Structure 1
Amino acid sequence: MELKENERIDDLELNNLKIIQNKNGFCFGMDSVLLSDFAKNIKPNTKVIDLGTGTGILPILLSAKTKASKIVGIEIQEDVANMANRSVELNNLQNRLEIICENIKNLKNVYETNSFDAIVTNPPYKTKGTGGINELKSKLISRHEITADLEDFISISSYLLKDQSNIYMVHRPERLVDILSIFRKYKLEPKELKLVQPNCGKAPNLVLIKATKNAKPFLKIDKPLYIYKSDGTYTEELLKIYNKI
């Protein structure tokens, strides 16, 4: 497999899957791994789309964790989408995975409404002009709402999803009010919420949310996921998610 400057191949330690990443670009983090586990109950033989796929980590992980028949990853940055496509080829997943270089705001010109059975997304966490601005373009677009904001991600999700189908999202707790209100604005009913905490003594720093299109109101709050035990080692729940036990 051809590698470009500053690229490396990382072992995902799951079904012999690997991913190509640029050490100077935006590399996937724990949030993507947690989201793939949160969405592992996606039904078999379904069509899934990942909005803002980056290096393709979510489609690749979901290819092992689910029996979805088709998983599409949408990425706006051409060089990052190219890297994701090469990772698909590296894993011989061309029959199930497809990477498309496109702005999510243009997807109404690509797909008809109600085209997908499930959506996963790890959108940029920071609003434009807030937080520390990283100079590298790939990191800037991945972390800040430069090319699309939260409402763009949610509105196109409502367009793409079939009725009674689910969107799975990972985000920051400080954006939770925005997320829930915009979900309802676009007929996506929040159904499950899980907070992620570094340990039992610290505040949550991630939130996992499932919403269902045109569903009745009822929100299930899961018990929190703790990353570390009091001795600084990983919790059993996290080790299971990473297939370490």
Structure 2
Amino acid sequence: MNKNINLLEDESIDDLQLDNLLLIQKKQGFRFGVDAVLLSNFANVKNRHRVIDLCTGTGIVPFLIYGKYKPKEIIGVEIQEDMVEMANRSSKYNEVENIVKFINADLKDTGFLKSLGTFDVLTVNPPYKLNNSGILNPDDKLAIARHEILCNLEDVIRASRRLLKDNGRMYIVHRPERLIDIFELMRKYKIEPKRVQMIHPKVNKAPNIVLVEGQRDGGAYLKWEAPLYVYNEDGTYTKEINKIYGREE
């Protein structure tokens, strides 16, 4: 591991508890959550695959996918330059910069998308919230990560269509209230929904996260996975979540 990567005063290094991987993040600001962990676990990735992660932030999903599956290449795309710089320092720190790479770019740039070629697997944890308030600061980094300011759901799915190879798979994590939008846009861009899983905070609570798998030019067949519960009644993680985090044998 490269020990010569300097941290800024407002940064920390967090142990991903997976294959000795570490991630540089801001102490205050956007930090990864359980949705990124669930997305990396939901994706079906093989070691021969070429993988791309859109809206990658500080690179958490690519690092988790690398730690779990060791694909031949993973590219993360992020519009916020400081996050990309941080993610590339994480790659160097973990000595995986030849495999896990990050690019500062706009996923709405079709010329850029074409330059990347096509991928077996695409993952995305996009901004969840509709940008309909009219009062958000477009330079607010947290707002950009959480609200559809610089890209929306259709931008993400349109880009996914361009980036996936024939029969390639897309994996997205989002909010359940956007599920119909996800299905409609996937079909609009000929990415067929194939698998869905609802994530509940705990038993008897409504789901607050949904995972969807789509296949480029796939046939119509949808599999509904068993629901996943994050917390037990006492507030501890469930056995299933601990297993995903690698804490359960």
Q: TM-score, normalised by structure 1?
A: 0.95
Structure 2 residue 19 is the aligned partner of structure 1 residue 15:
yes
Match 1:221 to one of 190, 204, 224: 224
After TM superposition, the structure 1 stretch with the greater mean CA deviation from structure 2, 136-145 or 83-92, is 136-145
Opposite residue 47 of structure 1, the aligned amino acid is R
Alignment of 1:98-177 (within 5 A): 98-112=101-115, 115-130=118-133, 137-177=140-180
Q: Is the 8 A contact 1:188 1:214 kept in 2?
A: yes
Change (3 A) 1:32 1:214: same
| Pick aligned residue for 1:80 from 54, 78, 83 | 83
Counterpart of 2:41? 37
Residue identity matched to 1:15: D
3-state DSSP of counterpart to 1:111: helix
Relative to the length of structure 2, the TM-score reads 0.93
Amino acid in the other structure paired with 1:9: I
Contact 1:113/1:159 (<8 A) preserved: no
CA RMSD of aligned residues (A): 1.8
Tell me the secondary structure at the aligned position of residue 88 of structure 2: helix
Tell me which residue corresponds to 1:92.
95
Question: Size of the alignment, in residue pairs?
Answer: 244
1:30-85 CA-partner distances (Å, limit 9, x unpaired): 1000100001x212211110001000001111111113100000011111110011
Name the amino acid aligned to 2:95: N
Structure 1 gap segments, 5+ residues each:
none
Q: Tell whether the 8 Å contact from 1:25 to 1:136 is kept in structure 2 after alignment.
A: no
Aligned counterpart, 2:10: 6
Which range moved further: 137-146 or 110-119? 110-119
Q: Distance in 2 between matches of 1:131 and 1:32?
A: 28
Measured at CA, do residues 170 and 83 of structure 1 come closer, stay the same or move farther in structure 2, by a change above 3 Å? same
- Matched to 1:151, the amino acid is E
Q: 1:131 & 1:201 partners in 2: Cα distance?
A: 35
CA contact (8 A) 2:138 2:149 kept: no
Task: Report if the CA contact (8 A) 1:124-1:145 is conserved.
Answer: yes
Partner of 2:29: 25
124-133 vs 88-97, which moves further: 124-133
Contact 1:194 1:223 in 2 (8 A): yes
